[in-house]
Structures are given as structure tokens and as C-alpha cells.
Amino acid sequence: MTNKRFITYTWLTLIVTLVVILWGDVVQATGSGDGCGAHWPVCNGEVLPALEGKEIFIEFTHRVTSGMVFLMAAGLLIWSRRAYPKGSEIRKTAGFTMLFMITESLVGAGLVLFRLVGENASLARAFVAPIHLLNTLLLIASVILTLYFAYGGKSFSWKNQGKVGWFLGLGIAAIMLLSTTGAITSLGDAIFPVANTTEAISRSMTAGEHFLVRLRVWHPLIAIIVGAYLLIASQLVSRQKGANLVRNFALSIFIVYMLQLLVGVLNVALSAILPTQLIHLLMADSLWMLWVLLCASALSLPKEVGVARAFSASRGLSGTD
């Protein structure tokens, strides 16, 4: 039996988490990461700073909303332990949500305290930015899996899944690789903006340019390769497993990826302006959530499901009993 109130709260936690993630992109794109100086969790040494200037307002708003979603994650964990029995998958995923929320906060604090914000274009920042994004992906996955199990989703396992397990696992790795290059590209766009696509390509091919500028060109190419793999792999998994839920997630992945591709092209054409950046990030997070749900739904089924469906279909076509 589903707990509707818990599901509603989990949906709210997911939505607020996504809003905070998008606002974090606003912080980076506007160079507002040092709006509160090298102070954390206080802002410029004050709990309630004077909101003088755009940078302070943007950074302080991000901190307030981050603190709010942190408390919501704590509430999710407490509620899960009260509403569900020991050993419940919901308890586990809510626990992971809290864990990754803590690490998310620590990474964010590190960025501020070590001044890896604003116009800082160091190798250290380029290293930490993908780590921050990968932790964000794990956080999102934990929340969406909490919803999956709260709706009655079955436990899943990677064992004895054959090629399906490999297809799905490589998909996770591919999305993480794509996200890593996306984080670096987004950082380069924020620190070294360009006027148009021609300038972006020209500078990326110019010897002596900053490494963030030269790496910018790789993300679109990797996106096309990864996207093609996700589309092919999701369809293969759908055919192998055959369940309606798996097919629906595979179809949703196709639709979201095609939209994401269009937004990505628009983002490049418009030189990564903030509105298209935010839509691009939201679509990327949506694609990730759908892949996680595809993994959960497909891996909850036995390896033989696709074969059994094919056998049944062949019997029906031949007219045998």
C-alpha cells in the first residue's frame, strides 16, 4: 500500500532539489560564487547580510534554498524510518539522499572556502566542478529511486542480467562522462564567454588558449556519441525485457534526448546564454532520472522475461497450444 503523503513530500523534495541545482547554475553563470566572500555557512561574516549587489543576493539565495532542501532531506530520512519497516528499500534510498546531500554541502563549502568560485580558472576548480556535478547526479538518483520504491517499485539487482546489465551500466558511465565534460564546458562558458559559435570553435582550436577554452569543443561531440548509445541501448533493453514500464521509459528517453539535442544546438547557437543553459541542465537531469528509472524497472525483472515473451509470441503466431 502506497503512502500518498510520503510520496507527495518526496516529490516536493525532488522539485526543490532541482530548483536549487538550477539556481546553482545561475550562481556560476553570473560569477556570483564569491558573493559572500570566503565565508561559509555565514555570508560575509554575517548570518543575515545586507543584500547589496546582485552577486550577494544570488549567492545568499542559493545558500538559503540549499539549507532548506538539506532540512527536507533530513525530514525524508526521518519519515522513511517511521513509515517503513527495517530493511525497506525506501529507508535505504532516503539514507543515500541524506548522505549525498551532506557531501553536496561539503563540496559547496569547499568551493567557497578555497575560493574556487567567480573568475577562478584554475585546474583545481576544473577538477572539483565535475565532482560536484557527479555528486549531484547521485543525489538526484537517490531521490528518484525513493519515489520509485514509494510507488511500489520492485527491488532490482545487477546479478545474472547478462547483456542488459552491461547496456545499462555503460549507460550510467556514459552519462557521467557526458556530465563531466558538460560541467567543464559550462565553467569555460562562464569564465570565457564568446560572442558566437564561430568564435567558440576558433578559440578552441587556437594554440595557447586556456585549457577550459580548448576543451569546450569536445562536449557537443561526446553528447552526440553518448546520445546515440543511450537511444540504441534503451531500445535493446526494452526489446529484451518487454515490460510496458520498461518500454515507456525507453520511449521517454528517446523523446527527452531529442529535445535535449535541440536545446543543446540552440544553446551553442546562442553562445550559452543563461535561459538556454538552465533548460539544457534541466533536460540533462531529466534524462538522467529516466535512465535511472529504466535501470530500476528493467533490472527488477528476471533475465528470461524477454525470451519468454518472444516464445509466447511465436506460439501465438504459429497457432500452437
What residues does each domain of the chain span? 1-153, 156-321
Amino acid at 61: T
Q: What is the pLDDT of residues 168-204, one digit of tens each?
A: 999 999 999 999 999 998 888 889 888 777 777 788 8
Residues 6+ apart with CB under 8 A from 30: 54, 55, 58, 274
Q: What is the pLDDT of residues 235-271, one digit of tens each?
A: 999 999 988 999 999 999 999 999 998 998 888 888 7
C-alpha cell at 218: 569536445
Spatial distance between the Cα atoms of 28 and 21, rounded to a whole number of angstroms: 11
Amino acid at 24: G
Spatial distance between the Cα atoms of 39 and 224, rounded to a whole number of angstroms: 40
Report residue 1's pLDDT band, with 50, 70 and 90 as the boundaries. Answer: low
Report residue 234's pLDDT band, with 50, 70 and 90 as the boundaries. Answer: very high
pLDDT computed for residue 304 by the predictor: 52
Residues in the chain, overall count: 321
| Percent of the chain surpassing pLDDT 70 | 94
pTM score, whole prediction: 0.89
pLDDT computed for residue 312 by the predictor: 41
User: Does the pLDDT of residue 17 top 70, yes or no?
Assistant: yes
pLDDT computed for residue 223 by the predictor: 92
C-alpha cell at 131: 565532482
**Alpha-helix residue ranges (DSSP H) falling in the chain:** 4-29, 54-83, 89-113, 123-150, 162-191, 197-204, 211-214, 218-241, 244-269, 274-299, 305-318
**Poorest-pLDDT segment among 19-28, 196-205, 267-276:** 196-205
pLDDT computed for residue 308 by the predictor: 43
Mean pLDDT of 283-298: 97
Spatial distance between the Cα atoms of 307 and 246, rounded to a whole number of angstroms: 15
Spatial distance between the Cα atoms of 212 and 217, rounded to a whole number of angstroms: 10
The CA-atom distances, in angstroms, between 88 and each of 27, 84, 261 are 37, 6, 38
Phi, psi of 10 (to 5 degrees): -65, -40
Q: What is the pLDDT of residues 85-135, one digit of tens each?
A: 999 999 999 999 999 999 999 999 999 999 999 889 999 999 999 999 999
pLDDT computed for residue 50 by the predictor: 85
From the options 3.20.20, 1.10.10, 2.30.29, 1.20.120, give the CATH code of 156-321. Answer: 1.20.120
How much is the mean pLDDT over the chain?
A: 89
